[in-house]
Chains A and B, each alone.
Chain A
Amino acid sequence: MKIIYTDALVVGGGLAGLRSAIAARDKGLDTIVLSMVPVKRSHSAAAQGGMQASLANSVKGEGDNEDIHFADTVKGSDWGCDQKVARMFVTTAPKAIRELAAWGVPWSRIGKGERTVVINGKHETFNERDEAYGLINARDFGGTKKWRTCYTSDATGHTMLYAVANEALKRDVDIHDKKEAISIIHDNGVCHGVIVRDLINGELIAYVARGTMIATGGYGRIYKQSTNAIICKGIGTAIVLETGIAELGNMEAVQFHPTPIVPSGILLTEGCRGDGGVLRDKDGYRFMPDYEPEKKELASRDVVSRRMIEHIRKGKGVKSPYGDHLWLDISILGREHIEKNLRDVQDIAISFNGIDPADEGPKGWMPVLPMQHYSMGGIRVKPTGESTTMKGLFSAGEAACWDLHGFNRLGGNSVSEAVVSGMIVGEYFAQYCHETHLNTNTSVIEGHLEAQINYLKEILSYDGGLNIFDIKDEMRSIMQEKVGIFRNGDDLLEAVHRLEALLKKTKEITVESKSLGNNPGLNEAYRVPKMLKLALCAAKGALQRTESRGAHYREDYPKRDDMHWLKRTITTWENPEDTLPSIHYEEIDIMEMEMPPAFRGYGRKDSLIENPMSAQREAEIEEIRKTLGTVDRFTIQEALLDYELPGKLKHKNERVGVGYA
């Protein structure tokens, strides 16, 4: 029996996991990072468009600060987020990007003098300030008031991930790749590590640690069409659910991105629209201004995706063998801009569709359709990143629901969150590992290891003749068709029933190769039931939530209902034999908000059921402001909402021209 001990165990080697591991190493802890794939191949590498941080370097970002980033994030979330966490995030984001700059991320920098950009289909020229020369540049993104999304061409995630991974190597973080965590070791409500399957030889290993961090990314691959890498199956999230103790939050909150390319589903970054690209229909008509006069193509993703489907339903889609789609036109940005700032987009369009988007006119238009993109839901944790119900279990990044994004996340806020939460949660995690002594015995560990060996043997002994891949495909189709962009009660009920039936069927399969070693068929056989459990959490959560909020849109309940639904969906899987999750809710208190619920400024205006407490809190805030008189924005902020950050992270951020104001 192989048992490996360490101080701090991080499962997941994307931006969130690696940055957390750095925090742990910097405290002198022995730290192991486990990853299904070489860490630099983690899905973070695929992030294209950029990272949000309110640096306010560019003229187009002038006046930006934490407050505006905060307001954008809260509106984006449709008031579903934890505003305390949003505050922690916006205050740390500028520090995160500056740390990354010092670690060598070659952020695009501001040049001298004139800069020409495309805004609303027209070329505009402006001058950058001299004192901003050489500082980090930013582009426009959806749902933001200022240009705040910093970038390295359209390979932002790649350069960030390489810098962070190299810093982890520098610190001798021990990286074990091709290792998959398949269950959590715990007793008495405390987590002691994970059971891991070595994906090279199939060996099961117990990794035991004082503290365990799950940073395994999203669960997008439960959908048929997704921009996510094929490893984004949510296994890390599922094994937390399977403890029966730890909780998941808002699993029905799934984001659909407006512009993956058809049919492969490979993403074309929001930077395409941020830089001035437009959406067109079968007549070549730019339709978004009709729906969203103010933000047009740059309303939040949930809104743009729905408007696109709405337009297709009116018969305006372009017919293709893969169903209807719309066009994304970036040719108006000019070849030079595309070849410099949207180079991967061009490469993708040429390699996979034979289209050069820099070609002028319809020839260069790229076929796009909204598809699954991001998992707002995940492992429910406190603002410190520790599970609400299991000690010693932490989570950060896309895997976690701490809850920054509520029901919709803004583009560029996610790689930013991954690094920021790695800094904040990583620090709390490191403190925990530092102060905690390992308190378990080998019989507990061996018991968990034994259980997993027996489980895998049981799977190999199934002899029902079904193919696990067919079950997986059916799950993905159900999610696509019934738990998609537009949802309704009948479809969701059907989805829950069918998914539940599928989960039962996973015991009626036959795995051809009976090897416990390297056996890709067996991999799917134990992963699919886990994916189905997550699918059930999302479907059942969506069925019960009889309102529309952010990315969760119910055609039978089209209004956001602040009277009844200002709450977080909490899901658990109480018994291993259960075939459905259990759901309860966590209230979100308006009276504790810095920014009480209101209209977002985009989307439908008439679709709100207001809660009278919003007005009450608004009045209270007004009163507090009055009492304070003329004070700086930090004093007001503090009076409205209290939040903590470890160490120097709470310090004020300096900006060009305004210092620390």
Chain B
Amino acid sequence: MPENENYREIEITVFRYNPQDKDSTPEYQTYTLTETPGMTLYIALIQIWSKMDHDLSFDFVCRAGICGSCSMVVNGKPRLACKTRTNEFEDGKITLLPLPAFKHIKDLSVDTGNWMNAMSKKLESWIHTQEETDLSRIEKPVDPEVADEVFELDRCIECGICLASCSTKIMRDDFVGAVGLNRTARFSIDPHDQRTDEDFYELIGDENGVFGCMSLMGCEDHCPKNLPLQTKIAYMRRKMVKVK
């Protein structure tokens, strides 16, 4: 990194707590560092970790906005930390909290994997078909537009930001959230999946599913993949209402 006296100092305040350690108490810790061009919260936190505080916990994997690991609350908004540039914050003060709605592990680290796997299982988030595929044969043709539509919804990275932005999730821990409802919408339009609306009703036709959503739009506003969550939830709701 180039040294330059014009670079400003920034203050990053981090929520520190280890719920597994009886002696640990929740507290905020502030670190001051020099901002370099193009600095992201990934670069900043790695710098804090390697130079100032080896004990700081957080979750980065791809550091490119692709894997969905690094969601946290940045100055009040749930975001992917690796895609957040520090120069967005004019006063140079950034406060980081762990993502709510998931089990807290330590500091900025939360357990998303187990929740997402349980959600995927509960919603049977895989292709259901009676057809046997002979792997030597030419694949089943799919209309290119339909494939693109499925892809569009398949882009969800299970980052959990929609849940952290959701009022229903706060009240109902078992609510499958936009991530789950988007997933069912994805399978319902996939031509490989033979499930009927009745089948999907079994999975999401209740208050923990599509009828739990209060259409407050927090999910869509914050989704880093810009998924059309409200439209898709509304689409599933219309389908489910018909089943009823």
Contact = CB atoms under 8 A, between A and B. Distances in A.
Interface of A: 37-41, 43, 45-46, 55, 94-95, 97-99, 101-104, 106-111, 133-137, 152-153, 155, 158-159, 162-163, 165-167, 169-170, 175, 177-178, 200-201, 229-231, 263-264, 266-267, 321-322, 340, 344, 347-348, 351-353, 469, 473, 511-513, 515, 517-521, 524, 648-649, 651-656, 660
Interface in B51-75: 51, 54-57, 59-69
Interface string B38-61: 101000000001110011110111
A521 B54 contact: yes
Shortest beta-carbon contacts, A-B, top 7 = A134-B141, A38-B113, A521-B54, A95-B135, A106-B151, A106-B150, A469-B50
A648 B136 contact: yes
Contact of A37 (B113, B139, B192, B193): B113
Contacts of A99: 133, 135
B127 A266 contact: no
Contacts of A469: 50-51, 54
Interface string B85-113: 10000000000000000000110000111
Given A38-B112, A40-B158, A347-B65, A135 B56 contact: no
Contact of A108 (B116, B141, B147, B193): B147
A200 B136 CA distance: 44
B124 A111 contact: no
B183 to A, nearest CB: 9
- By size class, the interface of chain B is 35 or more
A321 B4 CA distance: 11
A521 B40 CA distance: 22
B136 A651 contact: yes
B126 A102 contact: no
A351 B83 contact: yes
Interface centre among B21, B116, B126, B137 (most CB of A within 10 A): B126
Contacts of A167: 126
B67 A41 contact: yes
Interface centre among A95, A104, A649 (most CB of B within 10 A): A104
A620 B37 CA distance: 61
A41 B65 CA distance: 11
A518 to B, nearest CB: 5
Nearest to A170: B126
Contacts of A165: 120
Nearest to B125: A166
B29 interface: no
B136 A37 contact: no
B198 interface: no
B56 A520 contact: yes
B151 A102 contact: no
Given A37-B69, A41-B69, A520-B49, A513 B126 contact: no
Interface in B184-229: 187, 190, 192-193
B110 to A, nearest CB: 10
A109 B147 contact: yes
Given A104-B150, A512-B54, 20 more contacts: A40-B68, A41-B113, A45-B67, A98-B135, A103-B127, A104-B187, A106-B148, A133-B141, A155-B155, A178-B105, A200-B111, A230-B61, A322-B2, A351-B85, A352-B83, A518-B20, A521-B55, A649-B135, A651-B135, A655-B138
B38 A177 contact: no
A41 B61 contact: yes
